[in-house]
Structure 1
Amino acid sequence: MEYQSRKLRFILHCAIFAALTAILAQIEIPLPLVPISGQTLAVGITATILGSRKGAVAMVCYAAIGAVGLPVFAGFSGGLQVLVGPTGGYIVGFIVAAYCIGLILEKSKFTVPMAMVANTVGMVIILIFGTIQLKFVVDLEWNKALALGVYPFIIVGLIKAFLASWIGMTVRNRLIKAKLSILSSKNVA
């Protein structure tokens, strides 16, 4: 019975944060190929609160529900064509970034400065995955891919890394203080 309860909580926590990502994805500033959206903020918040494993699973859930066609990606888009299109690399990067952000925090101390470092690393991972796919799908030279897929997002990305760190650690600390099971070390897949 306890196993079933832990498994259900694990699924619910991942689903809640996948939904948060879908909601924040709709906050968008359009740019030529790749919009600025709240998705990356959600990735950082998710990983900072849930950690590596749950954070990555939440992002897999988010990518999967978008891949089957639900309009959860930026601009209320969805479908497999988004994942294989010019911006799909960023979404794949969310999974890797969430895992790495959580892992960095699990291996160090859960503090806002450490969360800022972890979320900055996560931002870089997302930009790398996104730019590589953008370059090959649109058939761009590297300098053009960087100009479209990285440079416009550096300042905004650092701001989002700070916000994700601050929000994530604030929520995480309140959950710990309230002794809520969302941060249980007994994760179940």
Structure 2
Amino acid sequence: MTTRDLVLAALFTAIIIVLGFIPAVPIPLIPVPITAQSMGVMLAGCIIGAKRGALAYTLLVVLVAVGLPVLSGGRGGLNVLVGPTGGYIFGWIIGTFVTGLIAEKLVREGQSAARQMMGFFIASVVGGIGVVYLCGMPWLSFVAGTPFNTVLFGSLAFIPGDLVKAAIATLAARAVIVGYPLLPAKTH
């Protein structure tokens, strides 16, 4: 990793922390709130790519682990990482990597705007929603002692908001690739 890579990862960690200032929206009967920080998975993966994006979220998790209140609602500490939302938080790292990997494969400079946006949207949905849910739901089921089917059904409440986040991330990533491309080039 170059110094530029580290700076971009740190910058995105800061952006993710700022997204945490947007108040979380609690959902009745579900111990996982809707937060803007999960949109950072999509933004980081689509804008700075798999490795740098995953590094940004790894740094965020380290900051949480040492107790800094960098998650939405001013949360931090090991108790958050082992609580009901812990699987989602660790899933952010994997989800960002997958989002970035897909974006790096599907999106190129010089493609039509529609094709770039389709690639960013697919990457955001698969990595930023699918992978994060695959990591978070089993952990939530385990920690909360809730049957997995109940967690799965409860997660449906988050899908519309997550699709809006994917659309926002798509628009932002498209704007960045046009003005100042940061996504690593595809390797053959």
Displacement of 1:184: 6.0
Corresponding letter in the other structure for 2:9:
C
8 A contact 2:61–2:89 mirrored in 1: yes
Are positions 1:15 and 2:10 aligned together? yes
Q: Does 2:123 correspond to 1:118? A: yes
| Of 101-110 and 46-55, the range deviating more from structure 2 | 101-110
Do residues 29 (structure 1) and 25 (structure 2) align?
yes
**Helix, strand or coil at the partner of 2:135:** helix
SS at match of 2:31: coil
Counterpart position of 1:145: 151
- Aligned pair 1:169/2:167, yes or no? no
Query: Structure 2-normalised TM-score?
Result: 0.87
* Closer, same or farther: CA 184–97 of 1 in aligned 2, 3 Å: closer
Shift of residue 53, structure 1, vs aligned partner:
0.7
Distance 1:184 1:106 in 2: 6
Q: C-alpha displacement at 1:24, in angstroms?
A: 0.6
Alignment root-mean-square deviation, CA: 1.5
Partner of residue 3, structure 1: none
Alpha-carbon distance in structure 2 between the residues aligned to 1:114 and 1:145: 29
The answer to whether the Cα contact below 8 Å between 1:86 and 1:137 also exists between their aligned partners in 2 is yes
Percent of aligned pairs with the same residue?
A: 35
1:43 corresponds in structure 2 to: 41
- Corresponding residue of 2:113: none
How far the C-alpha of 1:81 sits from its partner, in A, is 1.0
Counterpart code for 1:94: W
**Cα offset for 1:183?**
4.8
* Deviation at residue 25 of structure 1 after TM alignment: 2.0
**Contact 1:26/1:37 (CA < 8 Å) preserved in 2?**
no
What TM-score results when the alignment is normalised by the length of structure 1? 0.86
CA distance in 1, matches of 2:36, 2:124: 14
Give the Å deviation of 1:135. Answer: 0.2
